[in-house]
Amino acid sequence: MQYLIIIAVVVVLSCFYTGCKRTGSGSSMSGSGQKQSTVEILPEMYKPVTPQQLAERLDKLAALPAPSIKNISAMCYSPAPLPTKSEYVCPICGEKTLYAVDITAAQQSSSQQGTISFLEWELNQCRTLAKEIKAVSLVLDESKFCQNCTGDLEKPSLGIIVTCPDSQEKHSCYFVSADDLLLIKEFELGRLTHKGDFGNKTPIKGHISRLKQLLGVEVDDE
């Protein structure tokens, strides 16, 4: 009788074990099966394009169905302490402009804090991304951060100056972020998704109006 009980226990345990193993391998397979977000839809975007081609490609993107995206994000990041000062060195004139949060001020200027955080955390990324964009000629305009170049530091922000190869017209846009430049790069690569904060993905077609603003493509009346 004791043997029978032991055999029964062993059989039950082994069934349970193989059952766990199967679900384990099944879930890992489904995990590797979803790798579709980097489909290249417009590989020709790497070639320089005319303003008209840019507009056509944005229309093509708008007509595509949005990809389904699953964001698995557990926000367990503890926010880094905000930088309180930044010394901006102008790449054009070489002068330094110091930005600092006035800790004695009763009310902190959030735009001043935003500028300091941008200079400390984002500007280098923007410079790198700007060099990687090839479809249009894109140059950063950092002059609004430089006291010497601008004289007036009312609204310091990063600008981009975009020129299409077949057009002499220059388009400029200010208050540009690293996220904006990444968006242009993703569009250029024909990506269907945009990787935003904390790696959260969104369909790139949801950002078409921002792309038009950034690239200087006429916005249609919708």
Q: Catalog residues that contact Zn ion under the rule CB under 5 A.
A: 90, 92-93, 146, 148-149
How wide is the angle at C-alpha 93 spanned by C-alphas 87 and 94, nearest 5°?
40
DSSP codes, 72-117: -----PPPPPPP-EEEEE-TTT--EEEEE--TT-SS--HHHHHHHH
Please state the closest distance from residue 115 (CB atom) to Zn ion, in A: 15
Considering the complex, state which of residue 144 and residue 207 has its C-beta at the smaller distance from Zn ion: 144
Please state the closest distance from residue 169 (CB atom) to Zn ion, in A: 25
Considering the complex, state which of residue 125 and residue 150 has its C-beta at the smaller distance from Zn ion: 150
Compute the distance between CA of residue 215 and CA of residue 135 in angstroms, rounded to an integer. Answer: 11
Residue 53 burial (C-beta neighbours within 10 Å; 0-12, 13-18, 19+): middle
Please state the closest distance from residue 120 (CB atom) to Zn ion, in A: 18
> Which residue in the shown chain puts its C-beta closest to Zn ion?
90
Considering the complex, state which of residue 20 and residue 93 has its C-beta at the smaller distance from Zn ion: 93
Please state the closest distance from residue 174 (CB atom) to Zn ion, in A: 16
- Rounded to a whole number, what is the largest CA-CA distance in the chain? 95
Considering the complex, state which of residue 140 and residue 192 has its C-beta at the smaller distance from Zn ion: 140
